[in-house]
Structure formats: C-alpha cells, structure tokens
C-alpha cells in the first residue's frame, strides 16, 4: 500500500517577495518582479533585464562567517528552508532524522562562484583560487547544507534537469515518501543565475526577452508579442510529509501531491518536440499516477515561459491530453510576474498550485494583451480570478527535452478516485 504525501510547509525567496505572504499577495495582485539588472554592468548585452530577488540579506538566516562560505544559490535555499520548516510548525528536535531527507533541484548551481574564481585564476594564478571554490560551486551543496543544518540523515539528492529540475526533485521526494522510505522530505529548488556569463550565454542563444524599455511587460506568455523569457533567481522549498505523520502532529495540511510524470522529448538540445509529444507523455503519466481522469483537473500552472515555440507547443500538448475539457480548464503562467527561475521554477509553481487550492484564487497571466491565435485557451489574462479548485497540474520543461508534471490536489481524509 502506497503512503499518501501531503504538503505542510512552504518557504519562498522570490523576485516578488521574500516571504510567503508577500509572494502570494504580489502574484495575485499581478505585480511584476522584473526590472533592470543591477548585479552587473549590462553594457553590450542584448537583454538588460531580469527578475532579481530584492532586499535579501543572507545573514538574517545564516551566521555571517558561514554565509561567506556559500554561493548565493545556497543562501536562497537555506533561507527558504528555514521559513518552510517554521511554516510547517516542525520541531526538528522531535523527528526521526534517519527518516527525513532533502531533494533539491538546481539547473546551474554556484555559477556566480565559478565566474568569480575563474577571474581569480586568470588574474592572480592557481595558488590564489579559494579552497572553498568547489564546495561553494557544486550544485549539490544547497541540499547538503540544508541537511547539515538540521542533521537530516535520510535520502539527499540534487536533481539537475535544466528548467525541470525542481519539479523532478519534488516528484522524486514524493516517491521516496510514497514508498515508505521517509516520513519527511524537504524539497523544491534554488537558482542564482543572474551573472555576466550566464546571461551572456542566454543572450547569445537569443532566448531572452529584449524588451529592455519595458521590463514589467517583458514576460508575456501566450501573447503574440512575446520574444523570449526573463531570467530570474530565488528558491522555494516545500515540506512534504507522509500523511499519518502529519496528522499525528496536528499539522496544517495545505494540499496533497498525488501524481508525478517525467519524460524526455529525445528530440533536440534546446527546441521542444514540434508535436509536443514529450509534454503529452509527461502529463498523461502524472494523471495516470494520480489515478484521475483529464476532466477532473480544474487548473494548470503552465510552464509558459514567453518563448515563441514553447507556449504554442504547450498549448498544443494540453489540447491533446485534455481534449474537449481543455476549453474548460483554467490556466495561468506565473512566470509573467516572477520571470523564469530556471531550475527553481517547478518548485515555485507547485507552491502556486497548493495555494490556489487553499485560497481559492488564481494568479493571472499578466501582459496578455494580444493573445496569440495559436494559444487560444483560458489563461486568466491580467487579473486574478476567484475559483473553487480541487485538482491542479503543473508542468516544467527543460533544455535537453526534460519534462516533468505534478498533480496536486485538495487534501481530504478519504481520497476517492
């Protein structure tokens, strides 16, 4: 008998808020977190905008000496985890640490440290490269640090599957608990990619929006004027628990994860399959895993990156999976406000699904002023919408053809499927 897996806590460090209340208030208020890049000089860059985390001080969560030994992506993860554990009301001194673990997703890990130490190497020679370079840079260090902070000895893994990373992390953590191998998993994603080299690379690919004169309007999923995604940073962490464990301690259960699908396009290093086949397979796998039919889904948080091909093909895939019900679905892309957190995007969007269920309010897709005729579903344009939502689905698709889908539902003591 599979265990049931519930969400009991959330922590968020994002471009639209560094705590859960601000994050949700700004999302549902249609507030964009995009602005001019402030972290480096963008002279010569085709894209000069990003969704940066603002007013974040790592020493609010981490000892100053230890903070200097961590990359920015780890700062975000530790801070978001601290808030998630508090939000869940978990007393970490009373849990079985051998049955608690961490699975986080990150697409690029400590790229800021990598760039900084490469400059040291070039300017000052190999003897001046920091002995902390490798421990700060490697992608698994965020999950390692979180486990060290709480003494968690269970499964500890980092998933790296580009923009599907944290959706895969959550799916894998869900399965660890479902199999009975853990009582608690801290899972989600973290990313800090707003660096000179990373942004230059995405610019060279022509992947980023160049709407530099209108940062707040640059991320416009499903709009005919979209011209690329907006790079973003941050971390979102969820506390996942085995249902009986959560009930026994009187936890406030926010939602339940019931299905996970993962697939690969096996088509191209960056372009999505032109038929949306991998996305279709991922969504169908997640629905089957959850034991629900397509017409039971109320809301989809779309991958919706604001790229020309991506938004069109996600729409095509949704129509293929949901058939006539696609026209009744409520869909939105919160990347229109948060930008694209790359490997942390799936975690953020899973949180949106849980809060939509809990709050009965759908965040909008802002900047949707001139819908693409090929993107003709209900994307909740520009204003939040009240709705009673019981079953949600979230998609994450990444370079390399990685696809991940999660089904998140309203928690009921007896789940009837």
Sequence ranges of the domains in the chain: 5-248, 259-403
pLDDT digits (tens, 9 = 90+) for 176-226: 999 999 999 999 999 999 999 999 999 999 999 999 999 999 999 999 999
Q: For the residues of 73-95, what is the DSSP string, one character each? A: HHHHHHHHHHHHHHHHT--TTSS
Cβ proximity of 232 and 209 under 8 Å = no
Question: Which ranges constitute the DSSP H helices of 126-191?
Answer: 133-137, 141-150, 165-178
pLDDT digits (tens, 9 = 90+) for 1-54: 899 999 999 999 999 999 999 999 999 999 999 999 999 999 999 999 999 999
Say whether domain 5-248 belongs to CATH 3.30.230.70: no
The Cα 180–Cα 331 span in angstroms is: 33
Known catalytic membership, residue 375: no
Provide the CATH number for the domain formed by 259-403 in this structure: 3.40.47.10
Cβ proximity of 380 and 365 under 8 Å = yes
Same CATH fold, 259-403 and 5-248?
yes
Cβ proximity of 237 and 11 under 8 Å = yes
pLDDT digits (tens, 9 = 90+) for 141-157: 999 999 999 999 999 99
Nearest alpha carbon to residue 186 among 128, 127, 237, 248:
237
The Cα 234–Cα 189 span in angstroms is: 8
Give pLDDT, residue 1: 80
Kindly state the percentage of the chain with pLDDT values over 90.
98
Residue 167 neighbours by CB distance under 10 Å: 37
φ, ψ at 46 (rounded to 5°) = -75, -30
Burial class (CB in 10 A: 0-12, 13-18, 19+), 125: exposed
Q: At 289, is the secondary structure helix, strand, or coil?
A: helix
The pLDDT of 396-411, averaged and rounded, is: 97
Kindly state the percentage of the chain with pLDDT values over 70.
100
The pLDDT of 362-371, averaged and rounded, is: 98
**Neighbouring-strand partners of residue 187:** 103, 238
Q: How confident is the model at residue 415 (pLDDT cuts 50, 70, 90)?
A: confident
List the end-to-end C-alpha distance of the chain, in Å, as a whole number: 15
Nearest alpha carbon to residue 352 among 373, 369, 375, 331:
331
Can you read off the two tokens belonging to residue 331? 């869909």
Residue 276 neighbours by CB distance under 10 Å: 24
pLDDT digits (tens, 9 = 90+) for 311-346: 999 999 999 999 999 999 999 999 999 999 999 999
The pLDDT of 392-402, averaged and rounded, is: 97
How far from 170 is each of 7, 187, 206, CA to CA, in Å?
A: 11, 6, 30
Residues 6+ apart with CB under 8 A from 293: 287
The Cα 175–Cα 43 span in angstroms is: 46
Give pLDDT, residue 417: 59
Can you read off the two tokens belonging to residue 377? 């579903």
Can you read off the two tokens belonging to residue 22? 């601000």
Nearest alpha carbon to residue 169 among 415, 417, 398, 416:
398
The pLDDT of 117-130, averaged and rounded, is: 98
pLDDT digits (tens, 9 = 90+) for 225-281: 999 999 999 999 999 999 999 999 999 999 999 999 999 999 999 999 999 999 999
Q: At 387, is the secondary structure helix, strand, or coil?
A: coil
Burial class (CB in 10 A: 0-12, 13-18, 19+), 300: buried
Cα dihedral: 185, 191, 192, 197 (round 10): 140
Residue 416 has pLDDT above 80, yes or no: no
Q: What is the mean pLDDT of the chain?
A: 97
Residue 414 has pLDDT above 90, yes or no: no
For residue 319, the Cα-to-chain-centroid distance in whole angstroms is 23
Tell me which of 155, 163, 353, 375 is the catalytic residue. Answer: 163
């Amino acid at each position: 008998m599979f265990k049931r897996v519930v969400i009991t806590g959330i922590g968020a460090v994002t471009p639209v808020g560094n705590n859960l209340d601000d994050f949700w208030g700004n999302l549902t208020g249609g507030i964009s977190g995009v602005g001019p890049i402030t972290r480096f000089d963008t002279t010569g860059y085709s894209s000069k905008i990003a969704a940066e985390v603002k007013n974040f001080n790592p020493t609010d969560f981490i000892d100053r000496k230890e903070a200097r030994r961590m990359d920015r992506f780890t700062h975000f993860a530790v801070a978001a985890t601290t808030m998630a554990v508090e939000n869940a009301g978990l007393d970490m001194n009373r849990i079985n640490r051998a049955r608690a673990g961490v699975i986080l997703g990150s697409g690029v890990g400590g790229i800021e440290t990598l760039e900084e130490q490469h400059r040291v190497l070039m300017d000052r020679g190999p003897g001046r490269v920091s002995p902390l370079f490798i421990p700060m840079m490697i992608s698994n260090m965020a999950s390692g640090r979180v486990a060290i902070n709480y003494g968690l000895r269970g499964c500890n893994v980092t998933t790296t599957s580009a923009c599907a990373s944290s959706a895969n992390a959550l799916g894998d953590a869900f399965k660890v608990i479902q199999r009975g191998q853990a009582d608690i998993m801290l899972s989600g994603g973290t990313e800090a990619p707003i660096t000179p080299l990373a942004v230059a690379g995405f610019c060279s690919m022509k992947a980023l929006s160049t709407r530099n004169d209108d940062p707040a309007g640059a991320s416009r999923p499903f709009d005919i004027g979209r011209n690329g995604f907006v790079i973003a940073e941050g971390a979102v962490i969820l506390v996942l628990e085995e249902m009986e464990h959560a009930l026994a301690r009187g936890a406030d259960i926010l939602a339940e994860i019931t299905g996970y699908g993962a697939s690969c396009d096996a088509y191209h290093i960056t372009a999505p399959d032109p038929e949306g086949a991998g996305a279709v397979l991922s969504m169908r796998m997640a629905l089957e895993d959850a034991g629900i039919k397509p017409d039971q889904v109320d809301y989809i948080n779309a991958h919706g990156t604001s790229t020309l091909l991506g938004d069109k093909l996600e729409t095509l895939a949704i129509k293929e999976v949901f058939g006539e019900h696609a026209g009744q679905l409520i869909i939105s892309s919160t990347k229109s406000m948060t930008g694209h957190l790359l490997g942390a995007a799936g975690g953020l969007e899973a949180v949106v699904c849980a809060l939509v269920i809990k709050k009965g309010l759908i965040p909008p897709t802002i900047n949707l002023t001139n819908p693409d005729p090929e993107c003709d579903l209900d994307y909740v344009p520009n204003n939040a919408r009240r709705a009673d939502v019981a079953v949600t689905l979230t998609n994450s698709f990444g370079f390399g053809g990685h696809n991940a889908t999660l089904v998140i539902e309203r928690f009921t003591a007896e789940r009837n499927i």
